[in-house]
Every structure is written in C-alpha cells, then in structure tokens.
Amino acid sequence: MPEQVPQPPQMALPTAARIAELSTPTFSIITASFGAAHLLPALHASLVQQRCQDFEWIVMDGGSSDGTPRLLAQWAAGDLHGRLVWRSAPDGGIYDAMNQGVTLASGRYLLFLGADDVLADDGVLADALRALGQPPSAPPVAALLGDVEVVGKGISRPRTDWHLLVRNAIHHQGAFYARALFQDFRYDIRQRIGADYELNLLLHLRRSPCRVLPRLVARCGADGVSNQTDERRIYAELRHIRARHLGSLQSWLCWAVGMANVLRRRVGARLGGPARRSAASRQG
C-alpha cells in the first residue's frame, strides 16, 4: 500500500491586511473544542449578539470529524469575518489547545470559554470593557474577575484571598486575564483536570492587581472535565501544583483543609436537602 501522507491541519487565519485593519482587539475569546459541533452554535450566538464587538474568537479544535470545521469556516466567512481564527488538528488535550490559542491571541485580555459555555447576556463584554477603563488613570489589572453559573451547581463568585491556597476559587470562564501574564507562563499539559489553577494561584502569591466585575459573565455546561471528575482527583492534582510553589508540607496542609471542606459540604447536603446543596455549591 502506498504510504499515506499526513494531511495539513484545516485552519483559517486572518490576512496581514485584515489584522492591520482590525488593529489589536481588547478581548481574545479562546475555545478548545473536540466533537462539539452541536454545542458551538450557542456559544457563537452569544458572541455575535454582544453589544461590544471589540473581540476576536480563537477556536482550537482537536481534529473533529463531526462537521466542526465546516461550521467554523462558515462563520469565518460570514458574521465573524476576519475575527474568527481557527485551527482543526490533533492536539495534546484541552490545555495544549488553550496554550496554542494563547500563542495566536492578539487581544489585551484573554477569556477562555469551553464549547458548552456561553456569555451570560449581550452586555458582558461592554461591561468588562467599561470596568477595565475605570478610572481612566488606574494602572492595568492582571485579571478582571466575574461570576460564573454552572448548570446544576449554582453561581460561583471569584475569590483571590486565602481560599486560593485551598481550592481553585476562580473559574476561567469568568476571568479576563491580561495577555501579559502569558509572556512567561503556559498551562502545564501534564495536568489533565486543573492546570488552570496554577495561574490563579500565582495571581494570589504574587499579589497581582485584580478587579472584581460584579456581574454574571458566563453560563457553563455540566460536561466540562472538572465537572465530570471526582473531587478527590481534582484536589490531588491541585496539591501537586501547589507543591511547586509552596513546598510539600504546606501543600499537604492545604489539601487536608480542602478535603475537610468537601466532606463538610457532602454531609451538609445530605442533611439539609436541595436548599442546603444550593448554598453549599455557591460556597465551593
């Protein structure tokens, strides 16, 4: 049999002329996807309806065969002409795809949305842009942090205090990260569940200036990898990440506090019924 020649990845990149025409967008929305042709239309709709259109959408698809490339090509030639950058080729998983998206991003702030996530309403980016510019004389922030609603779990509000030593208290779907943070950082693709925790932990340890956006930023599906994984596995991965920055002993202590909190919530949910479970989900 003749040797099969690998096919080049399907992709669409803006031309140099189009890049110059657009200049640098404020926001880069980065999405890692695979087999998500049935999910992406809702995310696409939530983007094109934004009152603020100062963004680019970067979709890193893992080589899907479900029609995803066809959809992306259609949008890139249509209502997102010149603002949708996409690539469809095998990758090393979600965080590898996110890293590739970071490399292609040109926006000042990066927002990572999964294929089953949507922006909460048509004013999200307008409100974020307004918050980033207030007051005009204020120095740039490392991250603008808003609320996230997870299907079946309620609303999660960001924390940048000691809670970040114990758990991942910032959902990346609600966090606008300054692109400058990624000059010397990429997600660790060896971590399969919670690699995004490391950047949030560094924000706390470095006392990076963060600002709260007091509104709901995104609604997230329940099919994300962290939502489908037992909390014990998640906390074990967070412990390994913490150990690199805090040392083994302190990392184990934080792990113990986190697991005690998980146990408390589970017991409380069993004793308190649906209302108690809803409150527990908001507390993390």
Instruction: Return the bridge partners of 12, or none.
Output: 86
Give pLDDT tens digits for 83-112. 999 999 999 999 999 999 999 999 999 999
Arithmetic mean of pLDDT over the chain: 86
Instruction: Return the bridge partners of 55, or none.
Output: 27
Give pLDDT tens digits for 180-232. 999 999 999 999 888 999 999 999 999 999 999 999 999 998 765 555 567 78
- Specify whether the backbone of 110 is left (phi greater than 0), alpha (psi in -120 to 50) or beta: beta
pLDDT score at 204? 94
pLDDT score at 30? 98
**Cβ 27 vs Cβ 128: under 8 Å:** yes
Residues of the chain falling short of pLDDT 50: 1-8, 13-22, 275-284
Tally of residues, the chain: 284
Hey, what are 202's tokens?
A: 């560094």
**Cβ 9 vs Cβ 59: under 8 Å:** no
pLDDT score at 229? 61
Q: Indicate the domain borders of the chain.
A: 10-228
pLDDT score at 260? 82
**Cβ 205 vs Cβ 245: under 8 Å:** yes
**The domain 10-228: what is its CATH number?**
3.90.550.10
Does the global pTM surpass 0.85? Answer: no
